[in-house]
Structure 1
Amino acid sequence: MSTPNSLLRRVVAVGALLVTCALGYAQKSNETTNHHNRKSTEVVTKDADKKSGAAAQLLASNLNYRDTTLVTSFAKAINESLNLDELTEEDLLYPSVDLYGEESWNNSLNPLRGASAAIPSRYEISLKEFVYPLDGIRRINSGYGYRRRFRRMHYGVDIDLNRGDTVRATFSGRVRLVDVDGRGYGKYVVIRHPNGLETLYGHLSRQLVKENAVVHAGDAIGLGGSTGRSTGPHLHYETRFMGIALNPQQLIDFASGAPHKEMYVYAKGRSTRSNSSSQYRASNTKTRDNSFKTYRVRKGDTLSHIAAKTGTSVTKIRQLNPKLRRSNMIRPGDVIRIGA
């Protein structure tokens, strides 16, 4: 059931959209031809900032092509004024659960090993919350890529630091792993984030968080060191998407300490490489868009909403969940099957 505050926010949002749409229709009446109308709508819809969601798309259909900036900025203003972009407690407790699936919260470095989650061929990853992992910009000692000297891939970046320096979470999320790998990462921490990423922090001298702890961007999670396979103090930092290593330098400009863009688009086969070791291999997963095995019910969800969101049908959901065959009763936190 929606709270009074959430209802008020929805009413305000709808009111703002109605006013803007009315203005859009007034401008649209000045168009000269139907052909021009259709062309304008296509341009704006294509250019509208996808992060602003349905608001931008609705506005785009009612404003001409000269108002692309207005469409995006107004939709962003609605989201920001109502705090629609802020992470909720549920986002942090169950980060990216719809993407990874319940089975992926495990103690394996590759969360999808033995799981049946589907890796999408394209996925937008928000980077705007990024916080540099150290207190101050540091030199990159070694980048992402194949190391001929050692005849193996290096799946992250090595950032220079002094032993004991504070290491911070680069995004908000929940700690999935706190472990020790004596022949590799040393003392390390893995955090899963609501934006779809998992980040790894290796060679720590001390871990300051425990598994399942919720952390916010900038929180201290460890102290720098040189544990594991290391020739000197540094932070080994990785960014991974569903077990697939992404080059951190394609996401982040480490010279300035900020993302290259607010949004990074993961595309299958582009700038990614699966780890060839059995520990990180994700090749046993199937690539399929918008299909998940399980779904955790959120506040305000209905079966029809879940079906539309996950690309299935209410009938199919009922078939997979016997308890829903006679009743539509679902509660926040319930996990239901939505795919074979």
Structure 2
Amino acid sequence: MYKIKAPVTFLLFMLCLLGCTGGAAAQGKVKDLFKVKTPKIQYVRPDTTILIKYEDFPDEGSDADESVFFNPKKELSIVSEDTSELDLGEQHIVEMSEEVLVDSSWIKIAGYYAIWDTQNLNPYKMDGRQLQDTVDIKLYDLASNRTYDMPLEKTPITSHFGSRGGRWHYGTDIDLNTGDSIVAAFDGVVRINKWDGGGYGNYIVVRHYNGLETLYGHMSKAIAEPGNFVKAGELIGYGGSTGRSSGPHLHYEVRYQGNPIDPENIYDFPQYLLKGESFQITSALFTYYNKAKSGSSGGRRAAYHKIRKGDTLSGISKKYGVPVKQLTKLNGMSSRSTLRIGKSIRIR
């Protein structure tokens, strides 16, 4: 390609091109002069040594129950070379190359391998307990215009990460009113927008530049679509109580390669800010898996709540995330039944 040094030279070049090669051919070449180079996506052979299939909770088919545990390996077939299939819900392993235009030259700023899956919450199947090294995550970088925001304007916590009602709760529940705006916590690309009737309801998963993924569950409406780039603070959906939910709230998760991290390790919710600019991920963050898995193996377990003064069905329902209708069914009672102090009520 000729190197154009001045506007006059450029004009002469164009006239010569049109006169010498003919109209149709010339138009094609002129168009190429202004072609914008897009980031590269090259398919590679999957590393099947780390891909393992799901283990479901008995009697539960929701994404929330399928997303954590690790079982025998399952190979993937060689990925297709058709890049148009990226957003069709199929799993691919792709080589990503991020480039920026500097002084008319494309400069590679990042290259990495990644699994892109628009249907499965945890396609990575990496057991966090097996991490050998400390992973340093830069949560935000103002110099690179990578900012952060809280998912809601107010963040009063209604339920914490950990064991709850005989099962493990992999996120933090934040109170809201139906219709409240929910925004992306960090810059990134939407990977999943899906309905999960037995768990998250309407939910979105965003993959971020800092290496984390965040999940936003129980929304009344999820508006960001897979493949959408979103900035921190950009609207992605509206609050609600869809799926397995006892009332309007946001179920918020932070994950690293599919492994849930207690959001309160990263956030100071009462103060409405992050605890720091960076965060370190080690295998110690995931030792809770031992408790979580032992509580889920061997079938469903009955769990009970001992009634105390001031308890109500709605209060117990909210505390354990179990609908009032389910409580009444489990205990052979009606929603107007009297709760007797000292007695136990089955919650699972």
TM-score w.r.t. the length of structure 1 is 0.49
Q: Which has the higher contact order (CA 8 A, sep 6+)?
A: 1
- TM-score, normalised to structure 2, is 0.48
Q: Which has the higher helix share?
A: 1
